[in-house]
Structure 1
Amino acid sequence: MSLSSTGTIAAIATPTGDGGVGIIRISGDEALTIAEGIFKPAKQSFSGFKPYTMHYGYILDDSSVEIDDVLAVFMPGPNSYTGEDTVEINCHGGRAILGAVLGEILSRGARLANAGEFTLRAFLNGKMDLTQAEAVAEMIHAPSKGAAQLARVKLSGVLGDRIEQLRGRLEELRAQLCVAVDFPEDELECLPLKTMKSEVGDAVTNISEILAGVERTKAWREGGLAVLSGKVNAGKSSLLNALLGRNRAIVTDIPGTTRDFIEETLNLDGLQVRVVDTAGLRETNDKVEQAGLDMGRDLAAQADLVLLIIDGSQPFSLSEIDPEFSASSGKCVAVINKSDLAQAEPVPADIMRNAGYEVVEISAKKGQGVDLLSAIIREHILQGAGEPDPDELVPNSRQATTLKKACSELEGLMLDIDMAIPYDLLGVRLETACSALSEITGEITPQEVLNSIFNNFCVGK
């Protein structure tokens, strides 16, 4: 995507599919002219698009045939989302209608917008910094209410402002450092090393405070992964169906029915959790089934939580548990299924408790204990993080990585100060840290970074 995004663009701004209302957005110098060319007002008193006012009328094709009755609004730049003249047309939400209206707009000289191009233009036109632009995408893709709240804070510009304040302090320090380099005989008066180290230490503390919530809120921002693991016919697929409240996985008494993995998403009181039903563990010569077993083990290794499904009605031994998923791993819960049936001796639940596992007894077939298990899944994935603070400032992964880079340079700078490294060499680390902070807000962000950010947006935003 080019940073010199030009021309008038248009796209459907609402999700693909049929709906009550669909919105088409037009942005650029020709937005108003195009809208005037296809819009027929319902009122004879209509004298033109009044800014920020909904106008009722009809969209016409090139033969003056009415395509749809719509509400249209004109938002002149720079007081619009993109900073350019913008028109939004609210149509009925059918795919055919939206496609027809968009086709008329494109035939009048607009081009189809690239992914994220509306927000890119808002960024290029100074309507938002890069942290706010990223927050737009985070709001759209938020897997939970908590994640949306965290994105909303950044959308308000708080993160960008804080980064700019921090960078401003470091730039002042750079200016003082330049004076010390240019006038070495006055270096003690210009910038005492003790003062410099204190300023850099304050910046490190500030960055550390911003980074503090990254890991703690990861589950809210990205969701969690829970993997169902266990021998064949232990009831993994039945449990997946019970958690979902519908029949998603095929359940039979035939061993090896699940040969691949099945993934579904649960919303556990606002927390999004991906639940994966893996192939039942057993020795096999079937290459397809073995491939499914290998994928299941890989997923379990990556999971936030592994549910070890055990058939409580059958004899059981601890040797059946993969050593990687010992009780000491802290990521496994023993789920004793078929609790409605007579239990084997010695009782599997007792074996697992004595080995240090948290144990939940359920009957997936009858739904017994499933609500309790759902609550335990949520608790384990959050791991004491608690509910997200609606005003907490949490950077995304790109921002966090860049902040860590800046922090590393500043920590190295403090060590260099202790070693009395010459001022001109100290300036290199300080410049690198300032550049990293500039990447976060978009002041000097490389083209490839901007492409990777905006290419992940949906078309229409």
Structure 2
Amino acid sequence: MLDPRLANDTIAAIATPPGDGGVGIIRISGSQCRSVANALFRAANQRFTDFIPYHLHYGHLLDANGNELDDVLCAFMPGPNSYTGEDIVEINCHGGRAVLSAVLDEILHKGVRLAERGEFTYRAFMNGRMDLSQAEAVAEMIHAPTKAAMHLAQVKLSGLLGQKITDLRARLEYLRAQLCIAVDFPDDEIECLSPEELIETSASVRTEIDELLSAVDRTKAWREGALVVLAGRVNAGKSSLMNALLGRNRAIVTDQPGTTRDYLEESINLNGLNIRLADTAGIRQTDDAIEAAGLEKGRELMDQADLVLLLADGTAPLTDETMSTAATLDPQKTVLVLNKSDLDGFDTSNAAQMAAHDLEMLAISAKKGTDIDTLCARIRDRILQGAGQPDPDELAPNARQAAVLGEAALELSELEQDTAAGIPYDLLSVRLETACNTLSGITGEIASNDVLNSIFDAFCIGK
């Protein structure tokens, strides 16, 4: 939990991911960061007297006993022109865990506090360096699974979403002012806002909100990736297909039925689209409690999937298990994959009874890799159907922002209905105020501590 009472503390954290690396960065933010760095740093240049802002200084960090910890590069960035809006020192060390831990310990022994999750970005938000939509975009940039997702986050990080929300609020605030005039001066000869103009302006704002909301579904696959589930009867070739799609042996493949008792999940990148592949337990009747639990989990994954690849052995008629499974699946989210096209007896007419389910059908050989590229292309096309590539300036709200926009749109819709019904202006102004305040939750002018904590607690320490 981020405590506003600790906002004046000087904080520090490792800003690079855990693990060994060539370079590791420790960030210090707050009024004491410069004096702490000076106490630990010994410059290689004998003429060094103090840190020059925005310059890299080479030297050594010493512990409390004067022993050398590491040779480093230090940079000092004075507030307010820094990431947090406060004085910041960044120390570039060697990236070993022991090195970074030792340097951070020395910093903390100087009275500096270890930063909480997201506290650097929280301070940037509180100090006016970014609005809340930009702060959320920082986390989205860090976790972006693909280049397209990174670009969508970058658009919001640039402030375009915040500016869009500010513009929409300004139009609603104008309406509020006009309503106040009409309520305060009912008998004066002042040209007041007509109900028709109120409805028209509200509807135009709501239309633009709806356009933002439409981008949520349109860009979901790019932002979050997609779940593709491999399902089918035992020995249909699901694990072989998993390995073929991954290009390596990840799943165990044997002739013994029921090898996959739980589910395996791995990720692949299909030309910029992140796909989570889930290989599920083979469908069959079983008295094995563990296998039954795996089958139930597979059923849950199929319900959640963006696309189900229903595998079947193309050398024989479809089994009752395959047919019953197909009957429960959405044709818009299912592809029937006939496997083993390399074997004698393979015949696509074996799946003729599936015509009633209106499923797209593809023939492959998972073992030989035949037509796997074709299947990959279809997976990508099916996931992205109707979406296409994101526009260069696409504004794609995240789930929290979409919920806020939905609340504002509902309030405006009810405002328009009340206006048409002849509700007095003083009561209509309450709906306008609610809509304005709701939109403020996106940029953070009005946001509860619970909302802020839920956002910044999702950050990593060091960001």
TM normalised by structure 1 equals: 0.96
* Separation (CA, whole Å) in 2 of partners of 1:247 and 1:107: 49
Partners of 1:396 and 1:340 in 2: CA distance: 45
Query: Could you tell me how far apart the structure 2 residues matched to 1:25 and 1:86 are?
Result: 7
What's the CA shift for 1:325?
4.9
SS at match of 1:458: coil
Identity of aligned residues (%): 60
**Aligned position for 2:435:** 433
* Residue 226 of structure 2 is aligned to residue 259 of structure 1: no
Contact 2:348–2:363 (8 Å) recurs in 1: no
* Higher mean C-alpha deviation, range 346-355 or range 294-303: 346-355
Q: CA deviation at 1:32?
A: 0.4
* 1:162 corresponds to 2:164: yes
CA shift, 1:190, in A, is: 2.5
Q: How does 1:447-458 map to 2 (within 5 A)?
A: 447-458=449-460
Letter in 1 for 2:164: R
1:3 aligned partner? 4
Alignment correspondent of 1:395? 397
2:34 corresponding residue in structure 1 = 32
| Stretch moving more, 213-222 or 345-354 | 345-354
When structure 1 is superposed on structure 2, of 191-200 and 90-99 the one drifting more is: 191-200
2-structure distance, mates of 1:348, 1:58? 73
Which amino acid is the alignment partner of residue 395 of structure 2?
Answer: L
Structure 1: how far apart are the matches of 2:24 and 2:392?
Answer: 30
Equivalent residue number for residue 99 of structure 1: 101
Q: Unaligned 5+ residue runs, structure 1?
A: none
- Residue 316 of structure 1 is matched in structure 2 by 318
2:205 alignment counterpart: 203
The residue correspondences of 1:406-425 to structure 2 (distance < 5 A) are 406-425=408-427
Shift of 1:186: 4.2
1:371 maps to what in 2? Answer: 373
RMSD after superposition: 1.7
Q: Residue deviations 1:337-395, cap 9 Å, x none?
A: 11111125684355546753222211111211111111111111111311111211111
Cα distance in 2, alignment partners of residues 16 and 319 from structure 1: 46
**What CA distance in whole angstroms lies between the structure 1 residues aligned with 2:326 and 2:457?**
38
User: What secondary structure does 1:221 align onto?
Assistant: helix
Segment of structure 1 superposing worse, 36-45 or 362-371: 362-371
Deviation of 1:205 (Å): 1.9
Instruction: Describe the shift of the 1:327–1:290 C-alpha distance in structure 2 as closer, same or farther (beyond 3 A).
Output: closer
1:116 aligned residue: 118
Residues 325 and 331 of structure 1 are in contact (CA less than 8 Å); yes or no, is this contact kept in structure 2?
no
Q: 1:223 maps to which residue?
A: 225
CA distances 1:206-261 after superposition (whole Å, capped 9, x unpaired): 21222231111110011000000000011111111111111111111111111111
Deviation of 1:425 (Å): 1.3
3-state SS of paired residue (2:414): helix
Equivalent residue of 2:22, what SS?
A: strand
- Of the structure 1 ranges 355-364 and 212-221, higher mean CA displacement relative to structure 2 is found in 355-364
Per the TM alignment, residue 329 of structure 1 is displaced from its structure 2 partner at its CA by: 2.5
Deviates further, 273-282 or 336-345: 336-345
The 8 Å contact of residues 237 and 251 in structure 1, kept in 2 or not, is answered as yes
Aligned partners of 2:369 and 2:405: how far apart in 1? 47
| Other structure's SS at 1:143 match | coil
* Structure 2 counterpart of 1:271, from 260, 273, 280: 273
| Matched AA of 1:2 | D
CA distance in 1, matches of 2:354, 2:249: 29
Choose from 336, 339, 346 the match for 1:337.
339
Kindly indicate whether the alpha-carbon contact (under 8 Å) linking 2:234 and 2:283 is maintained by their aligned counterparts in 1.
yes
Distance 2:132 2:347 in 1: 62
Query: 8 Å contact 1:24–1:98 — kept in the other structure?
Result: yes
SS where residue 185 of structure 1 aligns? coil
Paired position in structure 2 for 1:57 = 59
* Change beyond 3 A, Cα 1:165–1:245: same
8 A contact 1:325–1:332 mirrored in 2: no
Residues 236 and 23 of structure 1: CA distance in aligned 2, closer, same or farther (over 3 Å)? same
Alpha-carbon distance between aligned partners in 1 of 2:298 and 2:191, rounded to the nearest angstrom: 65
Residue 405 of structure 1 corresponds to which residue in structure 2?
Answer: 407
Q: Distance in 2 between matches of 1:423 and 1:355?
A: 55
Distance 2:189 2:437 in 1: 25
Report if the CA contact (8 A) 2:284-2:321 is conserved: no
Question: 3-state SS of the aligned residue for 1:417?
Answer: helix
1:66-85 equivalences under 5 Å are 66-85=68-87
Separation of aligned partners in 2, 1:355 and 1:212: 30
Moved more, 355-364 or 253-262: 355-364
Where structure 2 has 5 or more consecutive residues not aligned to the other structure, the ranges are: none
- Distance in 2 between the 1:274 and 1:187 partners? 65
* AA in 2 matched with 1:358: E
Aligned 8 A contact 1:327 1:357 in 2: no
* Structure 1 Cα separation of the partners of residues 382 and 423 of structure 2: 48
Aligned equivalent of 2:291: 289
Q: Structure 1 residues 66, 411: closer, same or farther in 2, change over 3 A?
A: same
Deviation, structure 1 residue 15: 0.7
Could you tell me which residue of structure 1 aligns to residue 302 of structure 2?
300
SS, match of residue 199 in structure 2: helix
CA distance in structure 2 between the partners assigned to 1:346 and 1:75 by the alignment: 67
Does residue 237 (structure 1) correspond to residue 239 (structure 2)? The answer is: yes
2:146 aligned residue: 144
Q: Distance in 1 between matches of 2:189 and 2:421?
A: 16
Which stretch of structure 1 is more off in the superposition, 97-106 or 380-389? 380-389
Alignment-mate amino acid for residue 348 of structure 1: N
- The answer to which of 312-321 and 428-437 deviates more is 312-321
**Aligned residue type for 1:144:** T
1:380 aligns with 2:371: no
Deviations 1:105-151 (CA, angstroms, capped at 9, x unpaired): 11111111001000000000000000100010010011111111111
1:427 deviation in Å? 1.3
Pairing 1:443–2:448 present: no
- Give distance in 1, aligned partners of 2:452 and 2:327: 41
